[in-house]
C-alpha cells in the first residue's frame, strides 16, 4: 500500500475571486508537508453550484473568502450551514483584516462562528505566514476528523 493510499491528499476547495490570492494560496499549499489537492471557484454562485453538483463527494474543507461578487462569504456560509447535506462541511473563512475597526472585525468573526464556521483567518501579507496558517488549520482539521472517526467507531 502506498503512502497516498494510506493518507490520501486532503481535498481543499478554495473560493476566492482574487486571482493573486488564489495563486499565493496554491503556492503555499505546495510548500507545506501535508499532501493536498486543490479545487477553486471564483465567486459565491460558482461555489454553491460546485457544492450542489458534488454534494455526494465533497472536499475535506472549504476556504471561503468573505468578500466576493455575486454572492459573498456570509451568504454562502449561511446557505451551507442551513443545508442538511452540507451542514457538517468544515468551512474556514478568511478575509483581509479590518484595521480601522477591531470591534467590528471581532463582531464579524463572532457572527461567523455562530453561523457555523470551523475557523477564521485574516489574509496575511506574506507567503511564509500563509504557509504557517494553512499548515496549522489543516493539522487542526485532521485532528478533529480523527477524533470524530474515533467517536463514531466507539
Query: What are residue 93's DSSP bridge partners?
Result: 64, 120
Predicted pLDDT of residue 5: 44
Mean pLDDT by 10 residues, the chain (154 residues): 60 94 93 94 95 92 92 94 93 80 83 95 89 94 80 71
Look up the pTM and report it: 0.89
C-alpha cell recorded at residue 113: 462562528
Interatomic CA distance for residues 120 and 123, integer angstroms:
10
Strands 36-41 and 10-15: parallel
Residue 75: Cβ-neighbour burial (10 angstroms; 0-12, 13-18, 19+): middle
CATH topology (fold) of 3-153: Rossmann fold (3.40.50)
Amino acid at each position: 500500500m502506498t503512502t497516498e493510499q494510506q493518507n490520501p491528499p486532503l481535498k481543499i476547495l478554495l473560493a476566492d475571486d482574487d486571482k493573486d490570492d488564489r495563486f499565493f494560496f496554491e503556492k503555499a499549499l505546495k510548500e507545506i508537508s501535508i499532501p493536498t489537492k486543490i479545487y477553486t471557484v471564483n465567486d459565491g454562485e460558482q461555489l454553491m453550484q460546485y457544492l450542489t453538483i458534488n454534494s455526494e463527494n465533497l472536499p475535506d474543507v472549504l476556504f471561503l473568502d468573505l468578500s466576493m461578487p455575486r454572492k459573498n462569504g456570509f451568504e454562502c456560509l449561511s446557505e451551507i450551514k442551513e443545508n442538511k447535506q452540507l451542514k457538517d462541511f468544515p468551512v474556514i473563512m478568511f478575509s483581509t483584516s479590518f484595521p480601522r475597526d477591531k470591534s467590528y472585525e471581532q463582531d464579524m468573526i463572532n457572527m461567523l462562528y455562530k453561523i457555523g464556521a470551523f475557523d477564521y483567518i485574516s489574509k496575511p501579507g506574506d507567503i511564509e505566514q500563509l504557509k504557517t496558517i494553512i499548515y496549522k488549520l489543516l493539522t487542526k482539521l485532521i485532528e478533529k476528523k480523527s477524533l470524530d472517526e474515533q467517536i463514531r467507531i466507539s
